[in-house]
Amino acid sequence: MGGLRRLVGPPAEIAERLRREVRDRVHLPITVGVARTKFLAKVASGVAKPDGLLVVAPDAELAFLHPLPVERLWGVGPVTAAKLRERRIRTVGEVARLGEAALVSLLGAGAGRHLHALAHNRDPRAVQVGRRRGSMGAQHALGRTPHASTELDAILAGLVDRVSRRMRAAGRSGRTVVLRLRFGDYTRATRSHTVGKATADTTPLLAAARALLRTALPEIDRRGVTLIGVSVGNLDDNPVQPELPFQPDSGSDLDAAVDAVRDRFGSAALTRAVLLGREPGVEMPLLPD
């Protein structure tokens, strides 16, 4: 499935169009918060959950923020919330009225200044645009029934195929392969391996992912697995320098031929033999890299 379109227009209109497009294409709800600062946009998104759009106008920021519970402040966990509530400080507005010196005395210099600034919606972090993602990945949710190692290997191959194709389409190469697992008891684990040189070729990335899966199989046998994912990090925008002496690379040529067929006839036009008859899982639409 291709990437989402770049949307142009007022922020609230863009957000609503984005929500509709995601719902139409993959039938999933998303929540969007729109505000002048990154912090307040995140708070607005949390308030609007599970499926909403909330726009906080610049002249209504504190009126929206101050009645909220202190837990809405970034950095306030159970321990900090308990300290504040012991002193009858329950809302963001009460934090703002307490004053920076009192918060520093109560929570320490770093936390006190941080919460005082957020309670007044002071967030100097700039929104960075044009920055490319640091990793690319895909995952596949599994049922709770046991899964043979051959089945997991087939799923892994499909995920690496998907990720490496996206990397080549974006002109990216990477060095670190990460295997992500969710076990039957809902705990999670990651395994990673860094290859010798950056690549977008399917063969070396799949070999690294398979090696990680083999080391995890004893734990999977004991605990079961309900999700498997693969990502490639340490992405590089520079072309990969071929090793001397220059030799034709059958792996790269094969990837290029497969990509060309799929680009022309669709992702399902060509697949690995081990994936025939298997459900590939939902492939989420992606923002342009």
pTM value > 0.75: no
CATH number at residue 145: 3.30.1490.100
* 41-50, 54-63, 219-228, 248-257: segment of lowest average pLDDT: 248-257
- If asked whether residues 158 and 34 sit together in one domain, one would say no
pLDDT tens, position by position, 95-128: 999 889 999 988 888 888 999 999 999 988 877 7
Please name the helix (run of DSSP H) or strand (run of DSSP E) that holds residue 197, with its range, or none.
strand 188-199
Cα–Cα dist 126/36, whole Å: 11
- If asked whether residues 100 and 142 sit together in one domain, one would say no
- If asked whether residues 60 and 165 sit together in one domain, one would say no
- If asked whether residues 163 and 267 sit together in one domain, one would say yes
- If asked whether residues 269 and 156 sit together in one domain, one would say yes
CATH number at residue 106: 1.10.150.20
- If asked whether residues 112 and 144 sit together in one domain, one would say no
- If asked whether residues 204 and 152 sit together in one domain, one would say yes
**What φ, ψ does residue 136 adopt, rounded to 5°?**
-130, 140
Span 193-206, average pLDDT: 91
Q: Cβ(127)–Cβ(150) under 8 Å?
A: no
* Model confidence band, residue 5 (pLDDT cutoffs 50, 70, 90): very low
> Residue 195 corresponds to which tokens in the numbers above?
């290859």
> Residue 270 corresponds to which tokens in the numbers above?
């060509």
- If asked whether residues 146 and 256 sit together in one domain, one would say yes
How many domains are there within the chain? 2
**Residue 125 included in any domain:** no
Span 63-85, average pLDDT: 91
Alpha helices (runs of H) in the chain, residue ranges in sequence order: 11-26, 38-48, 61-65, 78-86, 92-98, 100-107, 109-119, 149-170, 202-223, 250-265
**Residue 285 included in any domain:** no
Q: Would you call 170 helix, strand, or coil by DSSP?
A: helix
**Residue 167 included in any domain:** yes
**Residue 128 included in any domain:** no
- If asked whether residues 61 and 102 sit together in one domain, one would say yes
- If asked whether residues 175 and 266 sit together in one domain, one would say yes
Q: Last residue of some domain: 119, 147, 168?
A: 119
Taking each helix axis as running N to C, give the angle between helix 100-107 and helix 78-86, from 0 to 180 degrees, rounded to the nearest 10: 120
- If asked whether residues 89 and 205 sit together in one domain, one would say no
What pLDDT, on the 0 to 100 scale, is given for residue 215? 95
- If asked whether residues 90 and 153 sit together in one domain, one would say no
Q: Last residue of some domain: 88, 119, 150?
A: 119
Q: Give CA 140 to chain center in angstroms.
A: 14
What pLDDT, on the 0 to 100 scale, is given for residue 4? 37
What pLDDT, on the 0 to 100 scale, is given for residue 179? 96
| Full domain range(s) for residue 115 | 11-119
